[in-house]
Amino acid sequence: MNSIGQGFWEAWRLIITFDPDLYEIIFLSLQVTVAAVIIASVIGLPFGAWLAVNRFRFRRYTIAVLNALMGLPPVVVGLFVYMTLSRAGPLGGFGLLFSPSAMIIAQVIIITPLIASISHQTIRDLWAEYHDLLISMHATRAQRIMALLWDGKRALLTATLAGFGRAIGEVGAIMIVGGNIEHATRVLTTAITLETSKGNFAFAMGLGLVLIMMAVLVNLLIHTVGKTERTGTW
C-alpha cells in the first residue's frame, strides 16, 4: 500500500498542472465556507458577547445548551436542512436544495454555536477585567458589547478560525444538502469521499493534502493580515 506516497505526488501534480476542475472545487469550497464563516461570525460573536455581559434567568441553561451545540452532529444538521429545503418540505418553494446556498445554510447552523461559545468565553474573561471601568464610564449595554468585541478582536479571531476549520473539513451535511454535483456543488471534501468510493485512493489522498494545505494557507494569510502572533503586536 504505497497510496500515501502516491497521494503526495498526485497533490503536487494537481496543483502545478493547474487542473481546472481542482481549482473549481477549491474555489467553491472557499466560497461556501467563507460565506458561512462570515454569516456565523456576524451572528455568533455579538451573541457570545451579549451572553457574557447580561444576567438573565436562564443564562446558565442557555450557555450549557450553546456549549452542547458545539458538538452538533453535521449529518443531523444536513438531514434537517435537507428536509426543510426539499420541495416537499416547508421551505421547498425556494428551490434551494442541491445548491451552494443550501450548503452555506447547513454550515452556518453547524459553526454558529462554536463561534458563539468561544466568543462567550473570551468576552467573559475580558468583561471581568473591564467591568468596573465600563460601568464607571456609564457605557450602555451596546457600547459595552462593542468595546469588548473590539478589544477582544485578536482572541475572537481564534473563534472565527475554529469555525473556518470545522466548516472547511465538513462533509456529512454538505454531501446531503449539496448532492456533490459536478460543476455545481462539488467541494473538496465531497470529492474526496467520491474518489475514495471509486477506489482511487491516491487521487483522493492528493485532494486531501490539497485541502490541508489550503486550510494552512488561509490561517497564515489571516494571521499575516491581522498582524497577530508577531513580537510586539500584542
Q: Smaller CB distance to another protein: residue 138 or 183?
A: 183
* Rounded Cα distance, 159 and 164, in Å: 9
Among 32, 37, 52, 98, binds another protein (CB under 8 A): 98
Pick the closer one to another protein by CB: 95 or 226.
95
Q: Are 15 and 206 in contact (CB under 8 A)?
A: no
Stretch that binds another protein, among 35-43, 144-152, 157-165, 193-201 (CB under 8 A): 193-201
Q: Which of residues 12-41 bind another protein (CB under 8 A)?
A: 19-21
Quick check: 216 binds another protein (CB under 8 A)? no
What is the 3-state composition of the chain as percent helix, strand, coil, each rounded to the nearest 5? 75, 0, 25
Report the 10 Å Cβ neighbour count for 36: 27
Question: What is the size of the binding site for another protein (CB under 8 A)?
Answer: 26
Binding mask 154-183 for another protein (x = CB under 8 A): -------------------------xxxxx
Note whether 203 binds another protein by CB under 8 A. Answer: yes
Q: Is there binding between residue 6 and another protein (CB under 8 A)? A: no
Alpha-carbon distance of 192 to 72, in angstroms, equals 22
Minimum CB separation of residue 95 from another protein in Å reads 7
How many CB atoms are closer than 10 A to CB 182? Answer: 11
Angle between helices 141-151 and 20-53 (to 10 degrees): 130
| Residue closest to 170 by CA, chosen among 114, 102, 110, 86 | 110
Which positions lie near another protein, rule CB under 8 A? 19-21, 86-89, 92, 95, 97-98, 179-184, 194-201, 203
